[in-house]
Amino acid sequence: MKNTDTFTLDDCSKREEFSIDHKSIPIKLSKDLDEAIKYLLWYVPNISSEQSRKDDLLKNPEYDDYIFEEIKRQMNLEDKDILISEKIDKELSDHFRGEVCVNEQKLIMTLADGNETKTMALLRHIRNAIAHGNFNVIHNLVIGFDVKKYQDFLEYRGIFKINPSNLLKALRKINMDFTSEEFIAKALRRAGYKVEAFQEEYQRSHRFDLFAKKKDRRFAIEIINLDFRESLDENFVKDMIRRIKGIDSSIKPILIINSSYLSEKSKEDLIANDLIILDIKNIKKMNQGRDMIGEIVRKSEIYKNL
């Protein structure tokens, strides 16, 4: 994987001794670590907590690299600090037991299966270690181990040595910024669009998710669940066409969806009603500043004039 290529073990002239045992009970936590633990235990998306919201974006492999890069940036982690591996061997786990370097952060983790994203794995491992008390604080770092206990040995699934303040910044970003709507709005803005909530008669309307404008072109945007796993039925297409016909004729509708969830007939019906279909690849390109909407509109106009 990308983040295993340049990983290096921490190196320092003097390693500091530490113990997982909390000598002071309850353990004294910094304000940032205390808040980070509350996020991890109750508010992280997609976990078994009554306070947790569902966020398919964080579970979607198509967006995993982008989101994980943002998390790394918030946590001030570089590729050399991260190892993602199928297993963590004893030699590697022993390196972080008993004494450690406190001059740099490290993150080592396994993925649960082929579909787990790096972001959800990161949250799972840290949350497990915290929830089971398998962590401690040394200087300005929190050190923890996510382990599976068997009768004769421990299986290490995650090891982290990270700055709590950096962790808190990442958790805040996950909880506030990483939604499908916010991500797509940012991609549109990077491609030069002004983006706001969709309005009708100067009031917020739920007919569409977003409104985007660039120069004299205006667009109504509908976003379909990025992790939807079934083909959309004809009722969805009929409803979408009804909404298209009910908006200002100067506004062009856009449907953002994984196009594989649409049948060929559905695509043809929607396109015939002058709707633009964008998929995840298009959004990624727009996130890099490329105006995919403009390119599609220009190609459509050229085709109509032939």
What pLDDT, in 10s, does the model give residues 282-296?
988 998 999 999 999
Task: Answer positive or negative: Cα dihedral of 206, 212, 218, 219.
Answer: negative
Chain mean position to CA 116: 12
How confident is the model over 63-100, as pLDDT tens digits? 888 899 999 999 999 999 999 999 999 999 999 999 99
Residues 6+ apart with CB under 8 A from 280: 60, 62, 63, 226, 258
Task: Indicate the residue type of 273.
Answer: N
pLDDT of residue 75: 97
Three-state DSSP state, 159? strand
pTM summary value: 0.76
DSSP-derived secondary structure letter, 138: E
Length of the chain: 306
Which tops the pLDDT comparison, 165 or 248? Answer: 165
What is the spatial distance between Cα 290 and Cα 281, in angstroms, rounded to a whole number? 11
User: What six digits make up the tokens of 113?
Assistant: 């299966």
Question: pLDDT (tens digit, 9 = 90+) per residue, 18-65?
Answer: 999 999 899 999 999 999 999 999 998 999 999 998 888 898 888 888
* Cα 139 from chain centroid (whole Å): 30
Q: What percent of the chain clears pLDDT 90, i.e. is strictly above it?
A: 59
| DSSP run (H or E) holding 16 | strand 16-17
Please compute Rg for the chain using Cα positions. Answer: 24
| pLDDT bracket for residue 226 (50, 70, 90) | low
Both structure tokens of 241: 């066409």
